[in-house]
Amino acid sequence: MANPEHKEQLDAIDKISVCLYRAGISLFSIAMLVMAALSYEGIAILSHASPLDLPSYWLTLTASALCAANIHVYDKFIRSVIAWSSWIALLLAVVSAPLWLTLGFCFVTFSGIALKESFCFKVPGLKLVPVCLVIAVLCIALNKLVVLCVLFTAVGLVMGYLSVKKWQMPLHFDIGIKANYQV
């Protein structure tokens, strides 16, 4: 967790990493809102149409990869779980695994991010994001479009609000104290 009193010296790679992480969160919120707003996306998800044709699917995978590659968590085990969930999701997408499974692994990444960020921010609903994402996976598997749209809207709005708050703060807040990272 970042210490506001500590200002770490950031190099260019640190700055790029923080910006890509924040872009991933922003992209994820957009993907969730697109899935919720466009009923044909939701119907396509539930009808198990080819996910390759769904822009929001690719937005979610891209957002997941951006966040996984650039997450800043001190604990190596937690960082690995969050990051590897995205890499597994990308592998599942390549082998055309069921959509609910692929998105489920992406949602593990964003559940971890939501919980991580809830320690630093008092964003309303942030701790409910993991619950909403678990229920969303079940809704995909059980063909519950109305509930899925509500969940995606809620997650998109909460993560969008988090994204706005993250872009407003200094970059060094995301890095924290470099010496505290487990390698």
Confidence class for position 182, pLDDT limits 50, 70, 90: confident
Residue 143 Ramachandran class (φ > 0 left, ψ -120 to 50 alpha, else beta) = left
Residue 76 lies in a domain: yes
Is residue 80 in some structural domain?
Answer: yes
> Does any domain span residue 60?
yes
pTM for the full model? 0.89
Tokens of 40: 């044909």
Is residue 3 in some structural domain?
no
Considering the domain boundaries, does residue 2 fall inside one?
Answer: no
Model confidence pLDDT, tens digit, residues 54-73: 788 899 999 999 999 999 88
Residue 180 lies in a domain: no
Q: Which of 18-22, 101-105, 118-122 is the least confident region? A: 118-122
Domain count, the chain: 1
CA distance 112 to 107: 8
The percent of residues above 90 in pLDDT, for the chain, comes to: 56
- 3-state class of 119 per DSSP? coil
Spatial distance between the Cα atoms of 8 and 42, rounded to a whole number of angstroms = 43
- What is the residue range of 151's domain? 12-169
From 129, 168, 169, select the one nearest 151 (Cα to Cα): 129
Please give the torsion angle defined by the CA atoms of residues 12, 75, 93 and 13, in that order, rounded to the nearest 10 degrees: 0
